[in-house]
Structure 1
Amino acid sequence: MPRAARSAARPTSRTRTVLTVLALVCAVLPGAWVAATASTGSTSAAAAGRTWVVDAIDPATGTSGLNRWESVDTGRNIVTIAVGDTVEWQFDRASQAHDLVSLPPRDPWDEAWDFSADWAPGDGSDTTFTHTFDEVGTYNYWCSLHGTTMSGTVVVTDDANNTAPTASPVVALDTVTTNVLHATANATDADGDPLNISWDFGVAGARSSDNHAMHDYVAPGQYVVRLRVSDGRGGLYAQDFPITVTGGGGTTEPPADDALPEIDALAAGGPSLTAAFSTQVTTRGTLAPFAAWTSADGPLAGEATMVRRRVSTYTSLSVTGAKPSTSYNQVHVHEQPCGVGDGGVHYRFDETQPFAEVNEIWPLFTTGAGGASGLVEVTKPVRASAKAVSLVVHDPAMASRRLACADLAPSTSDLVYVWSFGDGTTATGADPDHTYAAPGTYTATVTVTHGSGAHAGHTSVSDSVQVVVGGGRPTPTPPPVPPAVPVVDSTPPRISQLGPRGTSASARPTIRVRVRDRDSAVRKKDVVLRVDGRKAAGLRYDAKRGLVTWRSTKALAPGRHVVRLVVRDTAGNKATKTWWFKVRPRP
């Protein structure tokens, strides 16, 4: 469809006024109505319903801006239409896969609607979605692949004489705290209608109906503040404000216990006196299906690993239980845990750049005849931040449907890195540079602890690395001395058959885990189970069968619960497993 003709004309308020006057004249002058109808035939045809065009727009790679919906008529992500009008979403300005998913009501004037569709570049730029709106109200939608940065609104009204509210909003973060938001609507209405104000701060449950609203963000990050002003007659003012919060002391997901990730100290020296250090951090996760997904092919399972280091992020994934001989072309690292918004939106290295493969982590895979992926590996030349917290597999036939997710644990969001460079100096940060005063061989050590929460500073992990700077030579390492007593057992216990997983219909489910150790014994006192960070009292352990069982004496609250098992054998080897399940809300 040519862009010049993309939105068909419909009667203006002035035209409707003329029609009203002509109708009154016809009541007095017989025959006048026939003439009036003949002279305005094109307007009457348009009254049957106008089509409004909304584009899906993807900025070109390397340019600024975000993926967005944009109305051809308004240049914004909101369009106001009449009852009986149709909205047509087009994709001739899109270069990435999108879905369009209706959102449930958030404000009193919102209406519920049911719409879901997917588009991909291979579908063709002439592919469109259309929907005709027959009821007054406000209808919200988004692309679930790109989150709140790509949301839109359709306002449907049957009052042509109503003037929508206007506003001069001011949205700013406190310059001292950098995490307290001040938002003022400054809304007015030309018709004098009483106004209803809604502020959405981009955080679950955080809302305000005040003209001047404030919100205290507990975690740094990117948020979208949403203002809606309604006059109660179909008129709506809407505007979104992307903000960056740099203050606040919260974390993406506070650790349930004192678990710390695996770390390795790395160093690069050379002929100069400056060395580049890096803390390599490894997190892992177990892929589990979302509770709402069922399939004749069986539930997806597998393992995910992420290794972050200086200028490099390695991600691996292996999947079983998928559809045989199928290309899974929607697999991404996400920025929320699996239990929060089903993983939230895609993680991006640079949040000022659009969603695209070059700016994200996509471990895509194609299954074999048995429904397995094999080992999938992706390496990106930049270190991922702590916001990369989960890996989500989408349905290849409908990207808005999320099949399975793995939390990358333990959390890295509150880690503190302290380096000792072996020359009496120290520094903080995951990847510092250090210049030595003299050539030589030095041993540097990094120590990692939790920086916040109940476990701040309680536990730590350390690793050391040797570095040569200024042309020095490493000190020869003497051959290892055999231990006086040979090590008999260095293999930790094996933990398997974790349960429950997914969703439990019981509020008091029985947790069962199998523990095996081939070379050493496992005693009950060396088995520790925690549920939501609390040590489980009344644990039972059948050493002969290797079975750990526990049932809560009180009903668990509906929602997600995190379980962590720590086991040591008599040789001192330690094994841990962390998983989660959901308690179904009571009807």
Structure 2
Amino acid sequence: MPRPSAPGTRLRTALALVLLAAGLTVGAVAATSTAAEPPRTWVVDAVDDTASNRWESVDTGTTTVTIRAGDTVEWQFDRATQGHDLVSLAPSQPWESIWPTALQEYRDAGGPSVTYTFDQPGTYRYECSLHGPMMTGTIVVVPADSTNQSPTAAPVVEPLTGPAPHVVHATANASDPDSGDVVAVAWEFGAGGAPSYTDHAMVEYTTPGTYVVRLRVSDGRGGLHVEEFTVVVTGEGPPDPDPPTDDALPDIDALASPASGTAPLTVAFSTQVTTRGTLHAYSAGLEDYPAITGEAVLVRSRGRTRTALSVTGTKPSAPHGAVHVHEQACDDDLGGAHFRFDTTQPFAEPNEIWPLFTSDATGASGAVEVTKPVRAGPKAVSLVVHDPDNAARRIGCADLAPGTADLTYSWAFGDGTTGTGADPDHTYATPGTYTATVTVAHASGEHAGHASVSDAVQVVVGAVPTTAPSPTPTPAPTSSPTPTPALDATPPRISRVGPLRTVRFARPVVTARVRDGGQGVRKKAIVLRVDGRRATKLSYDRARGTVRWRPARALATGRHVVRLVVTDAAGNRSARTWRFVVRLR
């Protein structure tokens, strides 16, 4: 479809860009013409380039476009270099509107466009959920015969700079030229907190950095006034936050390359860190693929990240072209955006972890493995499987635990020297056999200095030979040693959890199935928490692997969170979190 030209809109856009460059006010102004205009189509592109991944209106050059009721928005993907899912967002602010028909579409780069005709005035927001908040857009729809004038403001935000902790006061001084319009004000301070909906608001910044303060003024009829201010906070800021109260530490292995050589020998050490998770159905998968399950493993080491995945219970004989490691937990905004090795680079396969697969006739993936030539950072925390028929829908997720964000690495190289960091280098100056040991612990919080895990690796450093070595005698044959029993390194499997949806009684039975292929699981190694409180008097049938618990008292109406942690006799641990809602009528 040809893209319509809009000279007036482009002129306003050019003027807006000039004003932005000068640091002046730019307001989103609704159309005020009373002349009847035929419906038109407005084009929005999905854009992937070195600058960012974003939605961009052809008419405004921004993520926001103001249209009339009866107009159509067409999202195009010819400027995309990867797939995107286009999802309508529920209102999160007083002036935002509910989409009459929810939007949930996936398109590959260069795929067919998506069109949507807006018949009702309002403010509608959308996003690419694969990229999260960094790729959102807004459609402001005004009445077809609107004579509405946008609200105005004379904001004051001060002081704009100072050392942490830094308190900023913001006053909108908002009004509307149309009598009868109700002005709604919202301040967003860019620090992760909730917006403020009063004309005057204040915020305290405790962490140094650069923040964007955004003012939005709405009249409820499509008119919108927006201004932004930059606040710079200096200083060192407070210490890092405490880690989660769970004191678990990941499995580690000490590695050395080379492990032998002649002095002086420079060795590249590495702490290999392994995190695991059990895949379970969630989001759209609770309805469409309730039997989906599997295991995910992510192994980080120096210059290498290996991801292994095994899935069952998904669509048979289907290419799964959207399977990614994500940067948030499964229950946190559905896993959030994709994990990227380099956050300054756009979202794309070379910068991400994609363990894609094609399922067999039973809906199983088989063993899937992806290796990347760089160590993944601590934000690689979950693995998400998307619907093979619509990548905008997420059907399965595994939390990769334990977390690695607050770990410290302490090395003793065996020659009287020490080092820090996950992957240090060390040079051995004299010959000898050395045992290098790495100790991993929590950096802060209640478990700092209490729990740790260690591993060692041996390095043999020889002298430079001065004469030809004597032939090595052939050793006498000996009997074969007794094989060492294989260690149980597979965590228990948690499945068939419930309830998962809405229940109509106040004392529902919480259930789960626990299976372990190693030495088994004992009842005392099962911890069930509901809304953070440990459940007592739960029953466990070890032969069948069933866990059951019923609350002694009625639960309150509303949402409840269940977390089950199971540890087998070998010390392998699995965890599963799910939610349900009590609604009595």
- Report the TM-score when normalising by structure 2: 0.77
Residue of structure 2 in register with 1:94 after alignment: 80
**C-alpha distance in 2, partners of 1:523/1:122?**
51
- What amino acid sits opposite 2:388 in the alignment? P
* Partner secondary structure for residue 362 of structure 1: coil
Distance 2:429 2:566 in 1: 47
Structure 2 contact 9–59 (Cα < 8 Å) conserved: no
* Residues 283-313 of structure 1: CA deviation (Å, up to 9, x unaligned): 1111101155356766211111000011111
Is 1:363 the counterpart of 2:363 in the alignment? no
Q: Equivalent residue of 2:350, what SS?
A: helix
Q: 1:162 maps to which residue?
A: 149
Change over 3 Å in CA distance of 1:135–1:495 after alignment to 2: closer
CA RMSD, 1 decimal:
4.5
Say yes or no: does 1:586 pair with 2:575.
no
The residue number in structure 2 matching 1:49 is: 39
- 2:567 aligns with 566
CA distance in 2, matches of 1:559, 1:394: 25
For 1:419 and 1:579, locate their aligned partners in 2 and report how far apart those are by CA, in whole Å: 34
Point out where structure 1 has 5 or more consecutive residues left out of the alignment: 14-42, 477-481
SS at match of 2:339: coil
Q: Where do 1:209-228 residues align within 5 Å?
A: 209=198, 213-214=202-203, 227-228=215-216
Superposed, 1:146-295 pairs within 5 Å as: 146-158=131-143, 159-160=146-147, 162-163=149-150, 165=152, 196-199=185-188, 201=190, 203=192, 205=194, 209=198, 213-214=202-203, 227-231=215-219, 234-238=222-226, 255=244, 257-269=246-258, 272-290=264-282, 292-294=284-286
Moved more, 340-349 or 132-141: 132-141
Change in CA separation of 1:362 and 1:176 when aligned onto 2, cut-off 3 Å: farther
SS of corresponding position for 2:334: helix
CA distance in 2, matches of 1:282, 1:221: 33
Residue in structure 2 matching 1:118, options 105, 112, 123: 105
Q: Is the 8 A contact 1:167 1:237 kept in 2?
A: no
Alpha-carbon distance in 1 for matches of 2:428, 2:10: 77
- Counterpart residue identity of residue 246, structure 2: D
Q: Deviations over 1:86-144 (max 9, x none)?
A: 322222211211122111111111111133242433664xx322223333321111111
Report the alpha carbon displacement of residue 280 of structure 1 after superposing the two structures with TM.
0.5
Mapped to 2, the partners of 1:87 and 1:343 lie a distance apart of 28
In 2, the alpha carbon distance for the partners of 1:172 and 1:333 equals 41
1:76 aligns with one of 62, 66, 81: 62
Aligned to 1:401: 393
Q: Which one of the candidate residues 566, 572, 576 is aligned to 2:573? A: 576
The alignment of Structure 1 onto Structure 2 pairs a total of residues equal to: 535
Equivalents in 1 of 2:160, 2:307: separation in Å? 35
Name the CA distance, whole Å, in 1 between partners of 2:369 and 2:276: 14
User: Whole-Å Cα distance in 2 between the matches of residues 486 and 173 of structure 1?
Assistant: 70
Distance 1:100 1:436, change over 3 A: same
Which amino acid in structure 2 is aligned with residue 129 of structure 1? Answer: V
CA distance in 2 between partners of 1:12 and 1:283 (Å)? 54
Structure 2 runs not aligned, ≥5 long: 13-32, 466-471, 473-478
Q: How does 1:136-535 map to 2 (within 5 A)?
A: 136-158=121-143, 159-160=146-147, 162-163=149-150, 165=152, 196-199=185-188, 201=190, 203=192, 205=194, 209=198, 213-214=202-203, 227-231=215-219, 234-238=222-226, 255=244, 257-269=246-258, 272-290=264-282, 292-294=284-286, 299-468=291-460, 495=492, 498=495, 500-501=497-498, 503=500, 505=503, 508-511=508-511, 527-531=525-529
Check 1:470–1:538 CA distance in 2 against 1; reply closer, same or farther (3 A cut): same
Question: In 1, are the aligned partners of 2:66 and 2:140 still within 8 Å (CA)?
Answer: yes
Q: What SS is found at the alignment partner of 1:412?
A: coil
Query: Cα 1:55–1:288, aligned 2, differ >3 Å: closer, same or farther?
Result: same
| Matched residue type, 1:138 | T
SS at match of 1:574: coil
* 3-state SS of 1:342 partner: helix
**Per the alignment, in what secondary structure is the counterpart of residue 404 of structure 1?**
strand
- Mapped partners of 1:243, 1:363: distance in 2: 41
Q: Could you tell me how far apart the structure 2 residues matched to 1:172 and 1:260 are?
A: 43
Q: Is the 8 A contact 2:283 2:334 kept in 1?
A: no
1:243 and 1:315 map into 2 onto residues whose CA distance is 40
1:28 corresponds in structure 2 to: none
Instruction: Judge which range, 552-561 or 354-363, deviates more.
Output: 552-561
CA contact (8 A) 2:57 2:63 kept: yes
CA distance change for structure 1 residues 92 and 187 in 2, over 3 Å: closer, same or farther?
Answer: farther
Inter-partner Cα distance in structure 2 for 1:94 and 1:46? 35
Rounded to whole Å, the distance in 1 between the matches of 2:231 and 2:397 is 28
Amino acid at match of 2:581: R
TM-score with structure 1 length normalisation? 0.77
